[in-house]
Amino acid sequence: MTALAAVIAAAALSGALQISNGAGHPDAFRFLGISLAALIIGLALERSFPRPPSERWEAVIVAIGGALVLEQLSQLASVPPGIYLRGVQFTDFAWRLVLFGGLMASALSTKPWLGRLHAPIALVAFSWLGAWMLKASPNPFIDVFSETNEAIRGLLHGENPWSMKYPNIYHHTLWYGPGAADNDWIYVGFPYPPMSLLISAAGWFFGDIRWANLACLLLAAGAFISMRGRFGVLAAALFLTSPRILFVLEQAWTDVYLIGLLALLLLCVQRFPKAAPFVLGVFLVTKQYMIFLVPLLPMLFPENATRREQGIFLAKAALTGLVINLPFIAMGPMVLLKALTYSQHPFRTESLSFLAMTAQNGVPTLPLWTQWALIIPVQALCWWRGPRGIAGFAFGTAATIGVFFAFSKHAFCNHHFLVVGAACAALAAIAPRGERA
């Protein structure tokens, strides 16, 4: 049941993001509702189907997923892939898309043309598509891109990025809380954790921070394919053909780091268990809201792990996170804490969230704490009815983050794209018949 739910959730949410680039829209709200319902129903009904799905049912899921992949490819080709493209020749984009789409879609067949190399070659084709986007949109007009570049340059010159002020490229303060900015400057410091900045810096050294974003997209898809699951190639195809994936790449949104790290974590738990706690440590300190996933961590433990082994696993993860953050904490602990916990962002009426959908005259009718309160029953459902193992962790991640942003005062394409990635990760992690995920 979770396989079909993951396919529907990923495709429906991808469709929602395509409609208005991840902003609120009546049709986008409908697709968001379908996606969230698929995740919740998939969790609720998982234990109602205790037997592994038959080969015929698996073929049906792949057929449904394949049809959705073709639909997503048509959507990728129907509108410009970015919004800050400069004097580009779309013929170059078109043939790259045709090459990638042909390879990725045909990789879903029972006998791909190129055997086991078929899907990896499709990833190479996607990398060419991503490289085209970086060249076609070299300087996107978005604060994430400008602030991250400023933060890296400041760090290399010995400054503390979390105490720096940043140019306000928008020259208005509509999107900032009281005192956080004026028309020229933003005063609240760099908003992302040190690990996020370090990953961006890896791309910066290659000339564009978004090379790191592209690498994480490819890492995620490669990990999906490499898992010992039944639907790895389908998961990679649904993910890489998500219609707004190149827009997400253009905008330099760092949520894709989490998708790559989540996929790597699941792969390590399955195939390289000694590396898993260290990857988990990196994963948890890359974004502030990863703290919500802590109750799901026991799903990553081996089935026969002792309490001592579980404790060692968590200790290694915690130590990894501490080692990463300690140098930056030493630069100014209170400054770092203040920048990372700033929460006075105003309510955004254009958000793709039910909080925005139900607002009246720009004022939310639902309590702002709704997004926090709903996490508890969702995670209770994960433990009560959901799958176990890495598939359970990934599905729980998609459901937890999905409901959090579906009722957030500030939710856009980057936030929901993380849910798309987590749903695809859950699909890839579903174990072969007779095995535990």
* Residue 304, C-beta contacts closer than 8 angstroms, at least 6 positions apart: none
Q: What are phi and psi of 181, to 5 degrees?
A: -160, 160
* pLDDT computed for residue 345 by the predictor: 82
> Angle, nearest 10°, between helix axes 413-429 and 210-226?
20
Full domain range(s) for residue 169? 2-429
Residue 203 near residue 373, CB atoms below 8 Å: no
Burial of 78 (0-12, 13-18, 19+ CB in 10 A): exposed
Where are any strands of DSSP class E within 178-227?
Answer: 185-186
**Which residue's structure tokens are 């760090």?**
155
Give the pLDDT of residue 65.
96
How many structural domains comprise the chain?
1
Residue 436 belongs to a domain: no
d(CA 310, CA 316): 10
| Residue 307 CB burial class (10 angstroms; 0-12, 13-18, ≥19) | exposed
Q: What is the pTM of this model?
A: 0.95
- State the Cα–Cα distance between residues 117 and 361, nearest whole angstrom: 55
Residue type at position 239: F
Alpha carbon distance 103, 118 (integer Å): 7
pLDDT for 116 equals 75
DSSP string, 286-340: SSGGGGGGGGGGGGGS-TT--HHHHHHHHHHHHHHHHHHHHHHHHT-HHHHHHHH
Looking at the domain assignment, is residue 141 inside a domain? yes
Position 435 in a domain: no
Place of tokens 């704490």: 369
Reduced to 3 states, what is the DSSP secondary structure of residue 74? helix
100: number of Cβ within 10 Å: 24
One digit per residue, pLDDT tens: the chain, 437 residues? 789 999 999 999 999 999 999 999 999 999 999 999 999 999 998 876 656 667 788 889 999 999 999 999 999 999 999 999 987 878 899 999 999 999 998 888 877 777 778 888 999 999 999 999 999 999 999 999 999 999 999 999 999 999 999 999 999 999 888 889 999 999 999 999 999 999 999 999 999 999 999 999 999 999 999 998 889 999 999 999 999 999 999 999 999 999 999 999 999 999 999 999 999 999 999 999 999 999 999 999 988 899 999 999 999 999 999 999 999 999 999 999 999 988 778 899 999 999 999 998 888 888 989 999 999 999 999 999 888 899 999 999 999 999 999 999 999 999 999 999 999 999 999 976 545 55
Query: φ and ψ at 360, to 5 degrees?
Result: -125, 125
Which pLDDT score, from 0 to 100, does residue 435 have? 55
Q: What pLDDT, on the 0 to 100 scale, is given for residue 437?
A: 54
In sequence order, the 6+-apart residues with CB closer than 8 A to the CB of 74 are none
Write down the residue that tokens 């089935």 correspond to: 303
H/E stretch holding 166 reads: strand 166-167
Residue 379 is predicted with a pLDDT of: 96
- Quick one: tokens of 44? 């609720």
